[in-house]
Structure 1
Amino acid sequence: MPYERKEPGMGVLKGEDEVVELCRDLIRIDSTNAGDNAGPGERAAAEYVAGKLAEVGLEPRILESDARRANVVARIEGTDPGRDALLVHGHLDVVPFNAADWTHHPLAGEVADGCVWGRGAVDMKDMDAMVLAVVRQRLREGRRPARDVVLVFTADEEAGGTYGAQYLTEKHPDVFEGCTEAIGEVGGFSVSIDEARRLYLIEAAEKGIAWMKLTATGRAGHGSMLNSDNAVTELAEAVGRLGRHEWPVRLTPTVRLFLEEASAALNVEFDAGDAEATVAKLGPLARMIGAVLRNTANPTMLSSGYKANVIPQTATAHVDGRFLPGYEEEFFATVDELLGPQVTREFVYHDIAVETSFDGPLVAAMAASLSAEDPGARAVPYTLSGGTDLKAFSRLGIRGFGFAPLRLPADLDFSGMFHGVDERVPVDSLKFGVRVLDRFLDLA
């Protein structure tokens, strides 16, 4: 049936009633970020978010790190001043797109087939909208959480956070005063085991990031002559060794616990010596989980020369490296061995891996809020192969999780839509997330 908007005045406006429109509005604001600081920026989205928070009595601040690169921060005072604060964060930027590839224009925010379509529907304007909807409902109703809740909507997450999370933690650390725990993106979504049971994956760890530029230097010369010091040959061989290297499986605590929980839910025995067999049973999710069994290094770019008959003096390549928590030293030692002495590396971008234990009151609050809305829910931790703003916040001693709760249809390839084509989120999933987050803020 077609989606119908419930206007203010048609009864009490609940978070569930406006989350879809909030999500659509955010998607329609172009905040694409190609990583070159030349796009539209997040200023328009930040002004929209700040306006929605101000409407319900908060005093949000827009903190601009550069022209158009805007972050929004606000604090909800809790009823118990003795409690540590909770950080709830989301980012406002999205990755670029080719509109011709999409069924519905990625900036249209269309509602079709029971879903909100558009760039950011999954990553992560859906969570931004759910947070806005929950906060607006609670403050309209005069319901404040027990602990302070710090709301942070960042710029530039899709390009490493230089203008967003890193800027805030370095230049405005006062924003995070009292914060010891956090929730953010890429977690809390369901994976169906059967009609009655669902795993909800809560991010408890992230791989580290090492985007590297490789350079080989040789002897320039004429392409028709003998040359035993060819930079292109040296680089190509090194890139081949690195790209074909079979990294060993390393079961970190979070990965092991996830595989044990998944095996139990699938009624199969977990064999630590063959973790890939368990991952293979996860369907489309195997792409995401399979990448956290080991370190990875994928060559992504090659460049050298300017003319077919000229041997260049230098050749370069770029590699996307990701390392597991606790295995950074092993990762770089292996990379250097594979590259050999004739190829140098430098960082294009480098950031830490993070991991926290899956226990404590905050984890219990997430699990309980999910179970209250879905009796078939089983909360399990997992490791994200990518990275989020949590890396920056963790440097302040904040323990964080990915918790953007969504109950999803069993046949929806959710993980495949991150940065993909036809990104969309079910309307019912958004409403489910609002209910879960509302309960969570009562329990956290």
Structure 2
Amino acid sequence: MTSATGQGPSSTVTAADEVATLLSELIRINTSNPTHPERPAAEWVAQKLDEVGISSTIIEAAPGRASTIARITGTNPDRPPLLIHGHLDVVPAEASEWSVDPFGGEIKDDYVWGRGAVDMKDMDAMTLAVIREWTRTGVRPPRDIVLAFLSDEEAGSRQGAHWLVDHHPDYFADCTEAISEVGGFSVTVADDLRIYPVQTAEKGIGWLKLRAEGPAGHGSMVHDHNAVTELAKAVSRIGQHQFPIHVTPTVRRFLETLAEVTGLPLDPDDPEPSLKQLGGLARMIGASLRNTANPTMLEAGYKANVIPSHAEAVIDTRFLPGYESEMYDTIDELIGEHVSREFIAHDIAVETDFDGAVVDAMAAALRAEDPSGVPLPYMMSGGTDAKSFSLLGIRNYGFSPLLLPAELDFTALFHGVDERVPISALQFGTRVLDRFLRSC
């Protein structure tokens, strides 16, 4: 992989000028996982980098499952690099449910519309826009920057970040920090106050398959042991169970900071009664207070009058950092003796501190563009490629800065219908990223 020096022909095209167009073009490349592999998008990224003199490498974990990696040379070779990573794949979209073509990349009403507009082709476009402007104008960052545009995040990263960490760690091994998705976006909590949650933690994930077995038989007979009944009882117990609250360091700091800046009576030791005061934030914070286990799929039988020999269910479990053992000890108690379980997907929980020079640079960049903004850490209930890169000792932050309209239910757009992002938010993001990357 060849490094770019940041030298290139001057141009008046700025990151803010082209970010919406870049995002629109990228959305039009359908990368629905698993039916549409990322190779065309990876090649598009490589082309956009090549246009400004940055060479890159495309690596496939499997046919079509491609990631693009590049390195920008900074002014101080003694400093460890910063990793910026973003995934190229998206979840599928049912076109009949949308008001626009989900893969049309339409620009209307001052928004860019389409699958991936917020998860997470917006960050891909903002990163490309800033780096392209830098190389056109001769700007070099103070440290090397590794760019990774990745495959397969939406299916667990086994043919994306996890595969690269296992097979090509040398691309990232000298990086000490990383930024990526689902953080740095504004949440309006008062007319003159916005918070910017920066992701510093993620719950772990375990998708479980439960299986009950029993003798098959005729539906008209008396049966003492029915696989469907045993499975249904286990699923019901799990679905109705409420795990205890555990306030992790990330959540505690979030609640303490929010209470301080808003004056709300948020008790970090007993936060749940106060959640209703947080409006749209309650959904996000509530999921970070405890382990969760939600039944999502059921399958049994093939005919109305035949008792099946087995029945299966899928449970989506998410566990807090430090509480994985509690999760699965409890699950084993709830499923009972006649039901077995196995993982169909499993990944770690991650958490890092909200401190240090990189965090200071994030906060300064946000406040420079929004003096009313308050950065604070939060825990994400889902998962990102940060899980993979944390295995290399990299500290990971969700930092995709956006200044959003107060009325926009942003978190509902992730994997949602009519996914879209304001053009002004993208332009804000390029300005914040530019400030951050020049100083971090």
TM range (shorter): over 0.9
- Conservation of the 8 A alpha-carbon contact between 1:284 and 1:416: no
How far did residue 11 of structure 1 move? 6.8
CA distance in 2, matches of 1:273, 1:13: 51
Comparing 133-142 with 285-294, greater Cα deviation is found at 285-294
How far did residue 288 of structure 1 move? 2.0
- The 3-state SS of whatever aligns with 2:384 is coil
Counterpart check, 1:241 vs 2:237: yes
Aligned pairs for 1:12-411 (under 5 A) are 12-34=12-34, 39-411=35-407
How far did residue 10 of structure 1 move? 13
- Conservation of the 8 A alpha-carbon contact between 1:130 and 1:433: yes
- The 3-state SS of whatever aligns with 1:325 is coil
- Conservation of the 8 A alpha-carbon contact between 1:222 and 1:310: yes
- Conservation of the 8 A alpha-carbon contact between 1:259 and 1:278: no
- The 3-state SS of whatever aligns with 2:418 is coil
Alignment deviations for residues 323-350 of structure 1 (CA, whole Å, 9 cap, x no partner): 0001001011111111111111000100
How far did residue 273 of structure 1 move? 4.4
- The 3-state SS of whatever aligns with 2:283 is helix
Q: Which amino acid aligns with 1:49?
A: V
- Conservation of the 8 A alpha-carbon contact between 2:10 and 2:137: no
CA distance in 2, matches of 1:297, 1:268: 30
Alignment deviations for residues 250-272 of structure 1 (CA, whole Å, 9 cap, x no partner): 11111111111222232112223
Q: Which amino acid aligns with 2:204?
A: G
CA distance in 1, matches of 2:90, 2:14: 27
CA distance in 2, matches of 1:379, 1:284: 17
CA distance in 2, matches of 1:343, 1:252: 32
Partner in structure 1 of residue 418 of structure 2? 422
CA distance in 2, matches of 1:404, 1:160: 20
CA distance in 2, matches of 1:392, 1:255: 22
How far did residue 177 of structure 1 move? 3.2
How far did residue 278 of structure 1 move? 3.1
CA distance in 1, matches of 2:412, 2:257: 22
- Provide structure 1 residue ranges, at least 5 long, that are not aligned to the other structure: 1-8
Q: Which amino acid aligns with 1:58?
A: I
Comparing 176-185 with 274-283, greater Cα deviation is found at 274-283
- Conservation of the 8 A alpha-carbon contact between 2:14 and 2:133: yes
CA distance in 2, matches of 1:285, 1:18: 32
Q: Which amino acid aligns with 1:229?
A: H
Q: Residue 431 of structure 1 is aligned with which of 421, 427, 434?
A: 427
How far did residue 281 of structure 1 move? 2.1
Task: Count the aligned residue pairs.
Answer: 432
CA distance in 1, matches of 2:269, 2:396: 30
Partner in structure 2 of residue 3 of structure 1? none
Comparing 262-271 with 392-401, greater Cα deviation is found at 262-271
Alignment deviations for residues 338-383 of structure 1 (CA, whole Å, 9 cap, x no partner): 1111111000100000000111111101000000011011101000
CA distance in 1, matches of 2:11, 2:172: 37
Comparing 157-166 with 277-286, greater Cα deviation is found at 277-286
How far did residue 65 of structure 1 move? 1.3
CA distance in 2, matches of 1:228, 1:256: 50
Q: Which amino acid aligns with 2:392?
A: L
- Conservation of the 8 A alpha-carbon contact between 2:202 and 2:381: yes
- The 3-state SS of whatever aligns with 1:378 is strand
- Conservation of the 8 A alpha-carbon contact between 1:209 and 1:351: yes
Q: Which amino acid aligns with 2:352?
A: T
CA distance in 2, matches of 1:180, 1:271: 34
Identical positions, percent:
58
Q: Which amino acid aligns with 1:28?
A: R
Alignment deviations for residues 233-263 of structure 1 (CA, whole Å, 9 cap, x no partner): 1110000000000111111111111111222
How far did residue 284 of structure 1 move? 2.1
Q: Which amino acid aligns with 1:27?
A: I
Q: Which amino acid aligns with 1:393?
A: F
- The 3-state SS of whatever aligns with 1:251 is coil
CA distance in 2, matches of 1:243, 1:314: 20
CA distance in 2, matches of 1:113, 1:277: 39
Q: What is the TM-score when the length of structure 1 is the normalising length? A: 0.95
- Conservation of the 8 A alpha-carbon contact between 1:216 and 1:342: yes
How far did residue 318 of structure 1 move? 0.4
- Conservation of the 8 A alpha-carbon contact between 1:263 and 1:278: no
Q: Which amino acid aligns with 1:284?
A: G
- Conservation of the 8 A alpha-carbon contact between 2:369 and 2:432: yes
- The 3-state SS of whatever aligns with 1:78 is coil
CA distance in 2, matches of 1:89, 1:11: 26
CA distance in 1, matches of 2:272, 2:301: 41
Partner in structure 2 of residue 4 of structure 1? none
Q: What is the TM-score when the length of structure 2 is the normalising length? A: 0.96
Alignment deviations for residues 400-422 of structure 1 (CA, whole Å, 9 cap, x no partner): 00000001010000001000001
Partner in structure 2 of residue 6 of structure 1? none
- The 3-state SS of whatever aligns with 1:293 is coil
CA distance in 1, matches of 2:354, 2:298: 41
- Conservation of the 8 A alpha-carbon contact between 1:156 and 1:164: yes
